[in-house]
Chain A
Amino acid sequence: MTASNFMVIPRKKIILFICHQSASLRPQDWQEPMADLNIIADVEPVLLFTQPSADLTPQTWFRLAKEIYQRLNKAEGFIVLHGIDNILYTSSAVSFLLQNLNKSIIFAGVKSDQPDSRKIEIRANLINACQTATYKLPEVCLMFGNRLIRASQSVESNDASLNAFNAPLSGTLGRIDFSVRIYDKAVFNPKGKPKLFDSLNEKIQTITLSPLIDYKNLASQIADKEGIVVNANSYRNLPTELINFLSKKAADLPVVIWNQSFKDPLFLPKNIITIQNMTWPTTVTKFMWATGVAKNPKAVKELMAKNIAGEIIS
């Protein structure tokens, strides 16, 4: 074959943000697949964070969203290489910080603990993410194994499968067989221009319900807080003491009670928001966003009920 037999096809530009580094995910683990990724697109790596993802905080969520926003017109899509720890928080937070997306933000990483299989898994997940990122899907998604799912509807999977996360049907955006197949009907199509929000309220108190809660201590903990999120998922009825506490001490604060299995109607104080149709990380990050932008508990309640980025499970 001679050089004249070859043609150059212009490739799409994809930006790969590196947001995790650890002994089990070293720089060479993403550097080695770069040759493969560059068959699909012109991939530019950007090193953002060099700590393990378990150490990422709300400040890093905002930095990531800002870095993507600044490059929205410079690439067709974005991949975020992230550790399993905190990935649901980071990706959900990005869904609320960066709204009305017109391009894909695909979070990928590696689940396996075995060194040999990790190498292939990270390579395959990045290749699948790269191909998906070229489709300009207006979503923040996770790509692990053979599933493409909406980040804000995802939960961690406990089985041995390479599908590290699961999502209900409403959050399943595609699958991999011999190619990436997108379920167009499931895709959330936002209206308006992409928008970056510059604040998430970090003065939020999260409480996981258990019989050990010390309500006196809790009162001092919430003294300077601007919102409370209660994880009551393992309860069928709320403890009376909690209801009394929230009625008295938290009367002026927006309060969310997250429970996916409440069946009976709950008689709660007016300002309390019950959330059943979102995941826990999404509830927390959406509440941080909502209390950051809304001026009063009523407005927070309205925002929490609104489908902002396809996070509400139908």
Chain B
Amino acid sequence: MRVYFTADNQAEERLQKTFSQIIDTLNDSGVLVMSNLANRNLVGWPTQDLEKIEQSGESMIEKMDALIIEGTRPLAESGYLIAIALAHHKPILYLCLKDKIINQNLIHLKKDHQAAKLLNLEYYTVKNLNEILVEFLRKIETGEGKETPNIKFTLRITSRIERYLQWKTHNTRLTKADFLRELIEGLIDKDKDYQNFADKE
């Protein structure tokens, strides 16, 4: 899963520590984080892929599974990022330290049915921050704004497996890829060790 995280890179040290905590929590949960914070912008993107994206005319946010904004200090570009993420149906987590003030323009968005599904406004404390992040990741995977399969993965198979997949999906509505995806989703649901790992994170 790829997430774009943005925050005020001029914020005071106390907030900078929180930003690091957010990135660490996401990384520990197996999420690839891209961010406007120093040295994080295009981490994990091969130059070749970046060139392809540039040529295709797509924006980078299209390649993300979600957007997380730490908005305790107002960000000039947060409105733009929220708008473009909504346009591409990406789930958004807007975080703000408890007792701080959130831009009222955002609350109008929550009145919009489609936007409300994707936009999550959350107050946090250092104590419950991890919990909020993990809950958001779970929501992306299972709830509203469920992630769409957009990660390309090359899998080489034997002719025996190919024959089986062909037989299994013949005369069904499923493609071979759908069948494999459903199979893996089933494995994830049944894997108690993984559930424990995910809950712990």
Contact = CB atoms under 8 A, between A and B. Distances in A.
Interface of A: 1, 5-9, 11, 33, 35-40, 120, 123-124, 127-128, 130-131, 144-147, 159, 161-164, 175-180
A9 B105 contact: yes
Given A145-B57, A177-B60, A178-B60, A9 B103 contact: yes
Contacts, number: 104
B101 interface: yes
A161 B59 contact: no
B80 A127 contact: yes
Closest 9 CB pairs of A and B: A145-B57, A162-B57, A6-B104, A163-B57, A36-B83, A123-B87, A131-B80, A7-B101, A161-B57
A87 B110 CA distance: 36
Contact of B59 (A8, A11, A38, A128): A128
Nearest to B89: A120
Interface string B42-83: 100000000001111111110000000000001001011111
A36 B57 contact: no
A162 B87 contact: no
A130 B55 CA distance: 22
Nearest to A123: B87
B165 interface: no
Given A6-B107, A9-B74, 6 more contacts: A1-B102, A7-B104, A130-B80, A131-B77, A162-B57, A179-B77
Nearest to B74: A9
Given A6-B107, A36-B87, A39-B83, A178 B41 contact: yes
Interface of B: 4, 6, 34, 36, 41-42, 53-61, 74, 77, 79-84, 86-88, 101-109, 112, 115, 121, 123
B104 A177 contact: no
Given A1-B123, A7-B104, A178 B58 contact: no
Contacts of B108: 38
Contacts of A123: 87
Nearest to A131: B80
A164 to B, nearest CB: 8
A35 B118 CA distance: 14
Contacts of A163: 55-57
Contacts of B42: 177
A5 B83 contact: no
A53 to B, nearest CB: 20
Nearest to A175: B54
